[in-house]
Amino acid sequence: MTTSRECGEASGGIVVTGASTGIGLATARELAHRGFHVLAGVRRESEAEALRAPNIEPVIPDITDRDHITALEERVGGSLRALVNNAGIAINAPVEALPMSEWRRQFDVNLFGHIAVTQAAARAATQQEARSQLHLDGGRVAMHAYGAYAGSKFALEAVSDSLRRELASQGVEAIVVAPGAVKTNIAMDGAVTADRIVAAMTADQNRRYGPLMQAIIAHSASFTTNGTPAGEAAKVIAKAATTRNPRTRYTIGRDAAMLTRLSRALPDRLLDRFLAFLLRPHYATGRKAQVHG
C-alpha cells in the first residue's frame, strides 16, 4: 500500500461500517467498483450474504462490542487503506423527554463505538509505511429534538479534529464527511423510534412536545425523500477516502453546505429562527404557532 496511488488503484483494504443499507451500502459498492477490497460491516448473516460480491467481504461487527472489534482488527491485520465510520442510529426527541437510557444508547453507537473502531484502525494504520485515512461523520447544526443525535455527531467531529492533529506527523489523515439529506431508510427507522418515545411521554410532555415530535417526523421523512441519492453520496466518500491530498472536511448535498455556512455566519438567534422556519410547514394544521425559535 502506498500513498502515491490514485483512487482507481487498489492498495490495501477499506473498512466500511454500517454497510447494510443506504450510504454505507452504496459506499461499499462504489469502492469495490474502483478495485478496492472492502470489509463491509453488516448486522445480520442474511445481510452479509446479500451484500457479498467481488471485492466485498461482509463482516458482522457490533461496534459497541469489544470482542467484535478485536476480531475486526485481527482480520484487517496490517493492510488498511481507510476506515469509513458510517454506522449510526438516530434517536430524536426533546432533551427533557428523552430517557437517559436512550441518551446512552445514542452515544454508545454514534460516538464510543466509532472511537473504539478508530483506535483499532489507528493501530493498524500507524504500523504501516503507507497513509491510511479515517473518516468520521460530523455535524455542526442541531435542530429541535436532535439534541442526542447532533450531540453525538458534534462530539465525533471534535474527536476527528484532535485525531487529525495527533496523527498528522505519522502520515495518517482524519477526515470529516458531513452529509445533508440523503435518500436512505434512516427516516423510517427514526420514525419508529420517535413513535415509541412519544408513547412513553407523560401527558404533560405530550401536551408540550407532541406537535413538535410529529413535525420532526414529517420533516425527516421529507428531508430524506428529497435528498441526494445514496450513490452520489458514496462517490464523495470514495473520493475522500482514496484521493492523494484529501481536504479535512467534505459536505454532501447543497443543504449540508448551506447549513455549514449559515452556522458560521449567522448569530445564534437568527439561526434559531431559520431552523424554526424550515420546520414550520411540517406542523399539523392549526399547530404552526407551536414552533419555537
Which residue in 37, 42, 34, 30 sits closest to 55, CA to CA? 37
Q: List the end-to-end C-alpha distance of the chain, in Å, as a whole number.
A: 51
- Distance between CA atoms of 231 and 227, rounded to whole angstroms? 11
User: Angle at which helices 268-279 and 203-225 pack, to 10 degrees?
Assistant: 80
Q: What pLDDT does 9 receive?
A: 40
Residue among 176, 166, 125, 132 at smallest CA distance from 3: 132
- Tell me if 138 sits within 8 A of 161, measured CB to CB: no
Record the cell numbers describing residue 205, joined without a space.
410532555
pLDDT of res. 4: 28
Give catalytic residue positions: 149
Distance CA 206, CA 211 (A): 8
What pTM, to 2 d.p., does this model score? 0.87
Q: Residue 286: left if φ>0, alpha if ψ -120 to 50, beta else—which one?
A: left
How far, in Å, CA of 48 to CA of 59, rounded? 7
- Output the CA torsion sign for 199, 202, 207, 208: negative
pLDDT given at position 187: 61
Beta-sheet pairing, 38-41 with 13-16? parallel
CA geometry: angle at 286 spanning 285 and 289, to 5°?
120
pLDDT of residue 11: 54
Residue in this structure with the C-alpha cell 468520521, named with its chain if needed? 136
Identify which of 266, 264, 234, 265 has the alpha carbon closest to the alpha carbon of residue 252. 234
Q: How far is CA 20 from CA 34, 89, 141, 228, 230, in A?
A: 19, 13, 26, 18, 13
- CB neighbour burial string for 17-30, b if at least 16 within 10 angstroms, e if fewer: bbbbbbbbbbbbbb
Local structure of residue 170 (DSSP, 8 states): G
Q: What are the pLDDT tens digits along the chain (293 aa)?
A: 222 233 334 457 899 999 999 999 999 999 999 999 999 999 888 889 889 999 999 999 999 999 999 999 999 887 788 999 999 998 999 999 999 999 999 999 999 999 999 999 887 776 655 456 777 776 678 999 999 999 999 999 999 999 999 988 888 889 999 988 888 776 667 778 888 999 999 999 999 999 999 999 898 888 777 788 999 999 999 999 998 889 999 999 888 888 889 999 999 999 999 999 999 999 986 444 444 44
| DSSP H helical ranges for 53-202 | 66-76, 100-107, 113-126, 147-167, 186-199
pLDDT of residue 291: 47
**Residue pointed to by grid coordinates 450531540:** 151
Helices and strands, number each (H, E), in the chain:
11, 7
What is the rounded CA–CA span in Å between residue 93 and residue 206?
11
Q: Supply the pLDDT for residue 109.
A: 95
Domain ranges of the chain: 13-185+230-266
Give the span between the Cα atoms of 183 and 132, in whole angstroms.
28
Q: Which CATH superfamily is domain 13-185+230-266 in?
A: NAD(P)-binding Rossmann-like Domain (3.40.50.720)
Hey, is 60 helix, strand or coil? coil
